[in-house]
Chain A
Amino acid sequence: MEQIRAIWRYGIKVGIIGGIVLILMSLIGIIEVFTKRQVIADFISMGHVLYLAAGLFVCYMAAKRTKPAKPLWVISSSFFAGLTTTFFLVLLIILGRYINLRMMFINASDLLLNNLLTFGVEGNSGMLLLLYVGMFTGLITGLFYLLPNVVRTVILWSLAGLVFAGVLQDLFRSILTNNFPDIISEWLLTSDGLTMKGAFAIFIIIALVIISWSIKGEGIKQGWQNLPKKQQLTWRTVGTIILLVIILVAPWRLGLFMSEVLTIVGLYVLLGLGLNIVVGYAGLLDLGYVAFFAIGAYVTALITSPEIMNLNWSLWAAIPFAIFFGILAGVLLGVPVLKMRGDYLAIATMGFGEIIRLLVLSDALRPFLGGSQGIGKIAKPQILGFVFKGPQEIYYLIIAGCMLVIFVSWRLKDSRIGRAWKAMREDEDVAQAMGINLVSNKLLAFGTGAGFAALSGVIFGSKIGSIYPHSFNIMVSINIVCLIIFGGIGSIPGVIVGAAALIGLPELLREFAEYRFLVYGIALVVMMLIRPEGLWPEEAHKRELHEGTAKEATG
């Protein structure tokens, strides 16, 4: 009796939630779209990986929640969670036979319902198979949950790594074919998906790395700490030089497509670092940040393009002007919103962003700003005859910009001004009572952030050659805020990681495009739940954790 109640509570209830989630995933079409990409060639597609992963997660949650965690109870709740989940899917399939679901859900295709959801087996036997898969998944997950922690970690990370490799196969393919003999890439990858041998190899390699790290890792860390300071410094320098070399040769070793992705990520790193000063350091939530990006790009266009003003200056001459006008706009926007806090500030700045976009779009200003036609023929930068024309060359410009901006952010971070910003973020009134002039420090933050955005705008304009108002809509601002939160608010490496994850990954996975914001939303919610400080949080927190453990160790 007791056990039946547990099955209901932990198994079937979780299964119902899982069933609903999976039905939603099917009906929004994400599974069908993703089946177009193979993870392991002729074996499993990304859609099915997603489908199975969701199912596994449901069963795992059921197993994890079961209390008391007796083996039999765990397995049975996981089993019933799997069965219930698939039962809901079977209901969906049956429903699809009698009612035309496509009236409302255009993604509920025949292919999805009668083939993809049932792993390619059609008809009634397909539904039966689906139920069997549910039960089997539940059993396996239950057993998996009972394994020792270490084994679970190794298997999970290896599987995750394998899926990651499969999903990012384009990246690996371009790295492998450009840098290593063809035989390696042929052995690992087919034209679509990993080979079976390759998949096994990757799984085993990751597992071995994790196992050896868990055995040797502590020793290596200890050894590193015991190294004399001088040697540590030399190794660090060597590491930095290697990293620099990799960064510098990357576009030529990765090919055109990857360079393009890297330049986009780089532009967002520039933007992110600028907004990080405003939002992360000074705590001023600015949702109109794209305006400064637009101002940078438009000033560049006006100065360098033969259209409209016909000045035809070089791009280098445009940079100081663009940054100057960016900073000026930042300060001018700052003045009216000085007294605003929190939500009010966010809305006011959002309005400012839209005003700038509507101004450049307007017919009244068309003779000066090009209206919806935009401005074309923006100059490409040159040094001594070397023209930065394609993404592989522009990349260097962006790297230089990023280095500059990282350097400035880093210097400001722990300075008198950086501390004043952080104090304002924590408590504006008290900051003022400590002698911090709110007006000048806020304007300094707005100005610095806007300057970075304008620099980004210069490079953006020159990269794409012609600019249009619709490139500067509010979604750019929202994207930047998201990547900052995702990476870790106020953290410089966090911005880079956030840009790579939220901007780079979707570029690599073109299928994502449609679901980009859905995935953003889910990613942010999950992040807030399990790791609210972000992927790579600010150092103060780490520093403190470190000291906490040190104290425990001695005390």
Chain B
Amino acid sequence: MAVDGLDIEIEEKTIHSVIGPNGAGKTTFFNCITGFYKPEAGEILLENHSLVGLMPDRIVRLGIARTYQNIRLFPDLTAIENVLVGMHAHLKSSYLGIILNTPFVKKEEQDAEDEANRLLKFVNLEAKANMLSKHLPYGDQRRLEIARALATRPKLLCLDEPTAGMNSGETQAMCDFIQSLRDDLGITIMLIEHQMRVVMGISEIITVLDYGKKLAEGTPDEIKRNPKVIEAYLGQGSAAQAH
């Protein structure tokens, strides 16, 4: 059992981090929220709507978007096409309308393209809109994946290790970017992260998982001082460093 008896409440417009050692069940927890795994027991509520048993595409429509630990873009689509796919749920063109190219479809496509370009601009990729996403550099791919998630117009954005594989400069830029998502767009952010510096720097609340159970929860300062956390997580890390 990867996640067991976990009880997390995420406040609106916070940056909430989930940390824990490898195999603690962080990604499993994400997969449950976004509908890829169905929990055997328990409830997941978004603004009092139950999400348990809904298909992932329904959950996205309700306002939860995600990115992946190992980037999963659509490699043979261009950057802008990736973002446009993210908008799919909000477009209403019908099959027949598309074939007849009705004024409604024309306008909707134009608006969608404008919005996609705006999002690309927001993540600093407007110059690379027509590049195939597989040919983008690593950092750009990360940001494109976030832009694609933003295109679904989420209330809650789940980021799975957004700074994995980045150097310190890139990591700092990503942290600023995540903060701007919350400050400028008012999106609630849930973050899985390994790098303590990132977590402590930007989160308002941190939940620590270990063996699928909640070990501790609190502000960064509380977590830093929590003896259980130091033992299970930081302690392990410092023990590993000693070797």
Q: Do A and B come from one complex?
A: yes
Inter-chain contact A544/B135, CB cutoff 8 Å = yes
- Which residue from A416, A435, A540 sits with its C-beta under 8 Å from B77? A540
* A residues near B108, Cβ cutoff 8 Å: 416
Chain B: residues with CB nearer than 8 A to chain A? 34, 36, 55-57, 60-61, 65-66, 68, 72-78, 81, 84-86, 88-89, 91, 93, 95, 98-99, 101, 105, 108-109, 112, 130-132, 135, 148, 152
Known: A423-B74, A427-B74. 10 other contacts (CB 8 A): A415-B93, A423-B85, A426-B76, A430-B74, A433-B56, A436-B57, A540-B132, A541-B132, A544-B135, A547-B131
A437 within 8 A of B: yes
A408 within 8 A of B: yes
- Determine if A433 and B60 form an interchain contact, defined as CB atoms under 8 angstroms apart: yes
- Our pick among B57, B73, B91, B135 for the contact of A432 (Cβ within 8 Å) is B57
| A408 surroundings in chain B (CB, below 8 A) | 99
Q: Can you list 10 pairs linking A and B with CB atoms under 8 Å apart?
A: A411-B98, A419-B81, A420-B85, A431-B85, A433-B57, A433-B66, A434-B85, A434-B86, A543-B130, A547-B131
Residue in contact with A415 in the complex, picked from B74, B98, B148, B152, CB distance below 8 Å:
B98
Taking the closest CB of chain B, its distance from the CB of A430, in whole angstroms, is 5
List chain B residues, Cβ under 8 A from A329.
none
Q: Which residue of A is nearest B92, CB measured?
A: A416
Main secondary structure of the interface of A (DSSP, over half): helix
B99 contacts across to A, CB distance below 8 A: 407-408, 411-412
Closest Cβ neighbor of B152 among chain A residues: A435
B34: A residues at CB distance < 8 A: 433
Min distance, Cβ B223 to any Cβ of chain A, angstroms: 30
Chain A residues lying within 8 Å of B91, measured Cβ to Cβ, are 416
A48 at the interface (CB under 8 A from B): no
Range for the number of chain A residues in contact with chain B = 20 to 34
A430 pairs with B68, CB closer than 8 A: yes
**Shortest beta-carbon distance, B78 to chain A, in Å?**
6
Query: Shortest CB–CB separation between residue A431 and chain B, in angstroms?
Result: 7
A407: nearest chain-B partner, CB-CB: B99
Assess whether A435 is in contact with B88, with CB atoms less than 8 Å apart. yes
Q: Contacts of A438 on B, CB cut-off 8 Å?
A: 57
Shortest distance from the beta carbon of A277 to any chain B beta carbon, whole Å: 12
Partner of A540, one of B65, B68, B76, B88: B76
Interfacial residues of chain A within 399-420, with CB under 8 A of chain B in the complex: 407-408, 411-412, 415-417, 419-420
A436 partner residues in chain B, CB cutoff 8 A: 57, 85, 88-89
Contacts of B73 in A (CB 8 A): 430
B129's nearest neighbour on chain A, judged by CB, is A547
Complex: A411 Cα to B100 Cα, angstroms: 8
Chain A residue, CB-CB nearest to B93: A416
Tell me, rounded to whole Å, the shortest Cβ–Cβ distance linking B95 to chain A: 6
How near does chain B come to A449, taking the closest CB pair, in angstroms? Answer: 14
| CA of A437 to CA of B54, assembled, Å | 12
Instruction: Kindly state whether residue A363 has any CB partner on chain B within 8 Å.
Output: no
Residues in B with CB closer than 8 Å to A427 are: 72, 74
A429–B85 Cα gap in the complex (Å)? 13
Which residues of B have CB within 8 Å of A544?
A: 78, 130-132, 135
Chain B residue numbers with a CB within 8 Å of A435 are 57, 60-61, 86, 88-89, 152
Instruction: Say yes or no: is A422 at the interface (Cβ < 8 Å to chain B).
Output: yes
Q: Given A433-B36, A444-B95, A547–B74 Cβ distance below 8 Å?
A: no
Q: How far is the CB of A434 from chain B (nearest CB, A)?
A: 5
A417 and B95 alpha carbons, distance in the complex (Å): 7
- Is the beta-carbon distance between B78 and A434 smaller than 8 angstroms? no
CA distance A411 to B93 in the complex (A): 12
User: 6 closest A-B pairs (Cβ-Cβ)?
Assistant: A435-B89, A426-B74, A435-B60, A415-B98, A423-B85, A416-B91
